[in-house]
Amino acid sequence: MSATARSSSEIIEIGPLLIIPDEHLARADGRVLVLSIRELRLLTELGRRADRIMPREELFRLVWGREMRSGDRSVDVYVRKLRVKLEDALPGWRFIHTHFGFGYRLAAERSGRSQLDNTAATTE
Amino acid sequence: MSATARSSSEIIEIGPLLIIPDEHLARADGRVLVLSIRELRLLTELGRRADRIMPREELFRLVWGREMRSGDRSVDVYVRKLRVKLEDALPGWRFIHTHFGFGYRLAAERSGRSQLDNTAATTE
DNA sequence: TCGAGTCGTGACGAGGATGTGAAGAAGCTG
DNA sequence: CAGCTTCTTCACATCCTCGTCACGACTCGA
How many angstroms separate the CA atoms of A121 and A100, rounded?
Answer: 27
Q: Is A37 part of any domain?
A: yes
Q: Å from B97 to nearest chain A CA?
A: 10
Decide: helix, strand or coil at residue B43: helix
How many angstroms separate the CA atoms of A49 and A12, rounded?
Answer: 10
Q: Is A78 part of any domain?
A: yes
Q: Is B74 part of any domain?
A: yes
Q: Which residues, in sequence order, are bridge partners of residue A93?
A: A110
Of all nucleotides in the shown strands, which has a C1' nearest the CA of B40? D6
Q: Does position B4 have pLDDT exceeding 70, yes or no?
A: no
Q: Is A1 part of any domain?
A: no
Q: How far is the CA of B122 from the C1' of D11 (A)?
A: 39
CB-nearest partner of B53 from A25, A88, A89? A25
User: For A26, which DSSP code?
Assistant: E
Which range marks the domain in which residue A79 is found? 12-110
Phi, psi of A18 (to 5 degrees): -120, 130
The CATH number of whichever domain residue A24 belongs to comes to 1.10.10.10
Question: Any atom of strand C under 7 A from CB of A36?
Answer: no
**Amino acid B9: pLDDT:** 79
Decide: helix, strand or coil at residue A52: coil
**Amino acid A115: pLDDT:** 41
How many angstroms separate the CA atoms of B5 and B22, rounded?
Answer: 10
**Amino acid B55: pLDDT:** 98
Q: Does position B114 have pLDDT exceeding 60, yes or no?
A: no
Q: Is B89 part of any domain?
A: yes
**Amino acid B117: pLDDT:** 40
Q: Is B41 part of any domain?
A: yes
User: Over the Cα atoms of chain B, what is R_g?
Assistant: 14
How many angstroms separate the CA atoms of A41 and A25, rounded?
Answer: 10
**Amino acid B29: pLDDT:** 87
CB-nearest partner of B116 from A36, A37, A89? A89
Q: How far is the CA of B90 from the C1' of C10 (A)?
A: 38
Q: Is A119 part of any domain?
A: no
Banded model confidence at residue B111, pLDDT cuts 50, 70, 90: confident
Q: How many domains does chain B have?
A: 1
How many angstroms separate the CA atoms of A34 and B100, rounded?
Answer: 9
**Amino acid B57: pLDDT:** 97
**Amino acid A107: pLDDT:** 98
Cβ-based contacts (< 7 Å) between B 30-49 and strand C: none
How many angstroms separate the CA atoms of B6 and B119, rounded?
Answer: 32
Q: Is B3 part of any domain?
A: no
At B63-95, the pLDDT tens digits run 999 999 999 999 999 999 999 999 999 999 999
**Amino acid B124: pLDDT:** 33
Of all nucleotides in the shown strands, which has a C1' nearest the CA of B64? D7
> A31 and B100: CB-CB below 8 Å?
no
How many angstroms separate the CA atoms of A4 and A23, rounded?
Answer: 13
pLDDT of chain A along its 124 residues, tens only? 444 444 468 999 999 999 999 999 999 998 999 999 999 999 999 999 999 999 999 999 999 999 999 999 999 999 999 999 999 999 999 999 999 999 999 999 998 654 444 333 333 3
Banded model confidence at residue B8, pLDDT cuts 50, 70, 90: low
